[in-house]
A and B are shown apart, each in its own frame.
Chain A
C-alpha cells in the first residue's frame, strides 16, 4: 500500500532523513529529561529529608558528598538519565510506593481504555465516512454530519458528563465511574474478561474516542468525495464494474493512506485526552495518577510521567514521519516542494 521505501533518489536520503529525525527525537528526550531532572533537584533538599534535626552541618556535608549532590549539574544530570534508563524513578511522595510499581499497576487500565477508544473511532468513523461520502444528500448523512460537528466542538469532559447524565443517571444502563471487575493475569489486570468490566468500559471509551471518530469520519468523507471525482473511478465505472467494486476496491482503498497517518498522529491525542477521560470517570489509569500527582505536587510521579509521555510521543511521531516518507514521495526531499506543483 505504501509502495517501496526506496525510490529513485536512493536510500541515502532515506537514511539522512531517519538520522535527522532520530537526532531531533533525542534532543526532545534530553530536554524533557532535563526538565524532570530540574524538578527533582530544585524542589526541596534531599539531605534534610533524610537526617534528623540534630545532624551537624559537617555531617550534612559528608552525606551530600556521598549522594553526589556536590558534583557539577551535568554529572548529576547524566546520573539521573542513567537511573531513568534503568527504570528507577524514585518513590511517590504521596503514596510511598515506588513509581515503577505504580506505573506497572496503572498502565493496563490506560492502555485498554485507549485501545478500545481507538477501535471505536476506526470502526465507527470509517463506515460512517464512507456512507456519508456515497450518500451525500440523504437525511441520514446530514444528521450524522451535524452530530459530528457537535462531537468535534464539545470539550471532552463535557461529552463524558453528558454521557454519564444520560446513560448512568437517567437511564441507569451503564456504570458512571470506575473500572468494574478486573481479572488479574499476573502482570496485567484486564477488565475485558468480566461483564461489569466491559460495561464500565463503554462510556469512557466512547468519550475518549468521540473526537477521533468525528475526525476520521469527516476525513474519510472528504477523501471519498475527492476520489470519486477522479478519472480512474470514471474509468472503472466505464468498464462496467459493480458499484460495490468501485466504491470499496477502488475508492476506499485510496482514501486509507491519509486515514492511517491521521490515526497514527491521533494516538498521541488519545493519550493526552485519556487524562481528562480518566478524571471524569475516575478510571484508575496513568492519567488519573498524573492529575493527582500534580494536585499534590508529587514530583517523582510527575517527572516520571513526563519522561514516559515524551518518549511515547517521540516514538509515535517518528513512526508517523517514516510512514509519511513512505506514503508521500514529495517529502523525500528536504526542500520546498510547493514550488513545483503550485
Chain B
C-alpha cells in the first residue's frame, strides 16, 4: 500500500517522467521520454523480465493468429484423420514430424489445440480482468469519494468476500448460474457465465486500492478547485480523480490477468468452465488426464506446460511492474 500513498502525496504517477499523465503529451514526445524513463531502464536491466515480456508477446500473438500459424485446423472436422489418433510427439520413434507434440484421441494435433485453446483462455482472462477492473475501479472511486455509509457498505462486502478464496467464489457463482439457467442454455452461456463469475471474484483488489488513493486524492487542491467551480461529483470522480489513481490499477490488472487465467483453467479442468466444444487449456488438461494412465501423457502434460509458461511470464511482468512503479525500491 505504501507506494500508492507516496504517489498520491507527490501528486504524480510514478512513471518517472514528471508528468501527471504521460499520455496527454505529443505522441512522439511521450515515446522519447518513455524510452529515457526509469521504468524502461529497469526493464532493459533485467534479462528475466525481458524474457518474460518476449515470451508473453510471442505466446499471445501466436494464439491470436492461431488460424494462420497453427500447423493444423483442428476444429475443421474434414481435415482430421482418425488413423493419426494418439500419435506420440515427433521425437518418439512412433512420432510423425507433422505432429510436433503428438495428437489426441480424435487425431487432432496437440500443438494446434494448445494454440486454439490459449485463445479461449486469454479471451476469458482479458475479458474478466477488464470487467473486474470496471466494477472495482467504479465502486472504489464511489466508496472513496462519497465516503460515509456507502463506503461502509461497499467495504464491508469487500471484507467478507476477501475472507473466501477467489476460486471458491467463482466456483459458487458459476454453480449458481447453472442452477438458475435452464440446462439447454448452459453451453452457449458458459463463456459469459465464466467471465462474469471470475470478474465478481476479483473486483475487490481493484476497489480497495482505488478507494485508498481516492481518499488521499480528494482532499487535494485541484479537487477542491473543481468542486468550487461547481463541477458535478460524477465528473470530478471520473475526469479528475480517476486519471490520478490509475497507476496502481495497472499493476493489479497485470497480476489479475494471471489469476483470472488460472481460475479459468481450474474451473474448466473441474468441468464447470467452457464446454468441450470450445476447449481452453484447462479443458485440454482435463480431457488429457483420462489418457494419462494409459501412457498417452502428451495430451495433458503439454497443455499444462503451456499454461505454466503463460502464467509464469505474466506474473514475472506483474512483479517487475510493481517493483518498477514503487518509488521506495528505487
Contacts and interface: CB of A to CB of B under 8 A. Distances in A.
Interface in B151-175: 156, 160, 163-165, 167-168, 171-172, 174-175
Interface string B265-293: 11001111000000000100100010011
A297 B163 contact: no
B176 interface: yes
Given A168-B293, A299-B179, A313-B164, A155 B265 contact: yes
Contact of B308 (A39, A158, A269): A158
A165 B307 CA distance: 17
Nearest to A314: B163
A58 to B, nearest CB: 28
Contact of A295 (B265, B271, B311, B312): B271
Contacts of A272: 164-165, 167-168
A317 B270 contact: no
A295 B272 contact: yes
Given A169-B297, A294-B175, A24 B304 contact: no
A268 B163 CA distance: 9
A306 B295 CA distance: 38
Contacts of A294: 171, 174-175, 178, 272
Interface in A264-290: 268-269, 272-273, 275-276, 279-280, 290
A276 B163 contact: no
Given A28-B160, A153-B315, A169-B295, A269 B165 contact: yes
A272 to B, nearest CB: 4
B262 interface: yes
A16 to B, nearest CB: 17
A42 B180 contact: yes
Nearest to B172: A306
A158 B307 contact: yes
A80 interface: no
A297 B179 contact: yes
A295 B156 CA distance: 32
Contacts of A268: 163-165
A342 to B, nearest CB: 10
Given A39-B179, A299-B179, A169 B272 contact: no
B179 A155 contact: no
A306 B171 CA distance: 11
Given A161-B289, A176-B293, A302-B175, A279 B180 contact: no
A297 B178 contact: yes
A164 B292 contact: yes
B289 A35 contact: no
A39 B179 CA distance: 7
24 contacts: A24-B160, A39-B179, A42-B180, A153-B315, A154-B308, A155-B311, A157-B266, A158-B285, A161-B289, A169-B293, A176-B292, A268-B163, A273-B165, A273-B167, A275-B168, A276-B266, A290-B175, A293-B175, A294-B175, A295-B272, A297-B178, A299-B179, A313-B164, A317-B163
Interface of B: 156, 160, 163-165, 167-168, 171-172, 174-176, 178-180, 183, 262, 265-266, 269-272, 282, 285, 289, 292-293, 295, 297, 300-301, 304, 307-308, 311-312, 315
Given A279-B271, A313-B163, 19 more contacts: A24-B156, A27-B160, A39-B176, A155-B266, A156-B266, A157-B269, A157-B270, A158-B304, A161-B285, A161-B289, A161-B292, A161-B300, A165-B300, A272-B164, A276-B266, A280-B289, A291-B270, A291-B271, A297-B178
Which 9 pairs from chain A and chain B are nearest by CB?
Answer: A272-B168, A294-B175, A272-B165, A158-B304, A39-B179, A157-B269, A317-B163, A294-B272, A43-B179
Interface of A: 24, 27-28, 35, 39, 42-43, 153-158, 161-162, 164-165, 168-169, 176, 268-269, 272-273, 275-276, 279-280, 290-291, 293-295, 297, 299, 302, 306, 309, 313, 317
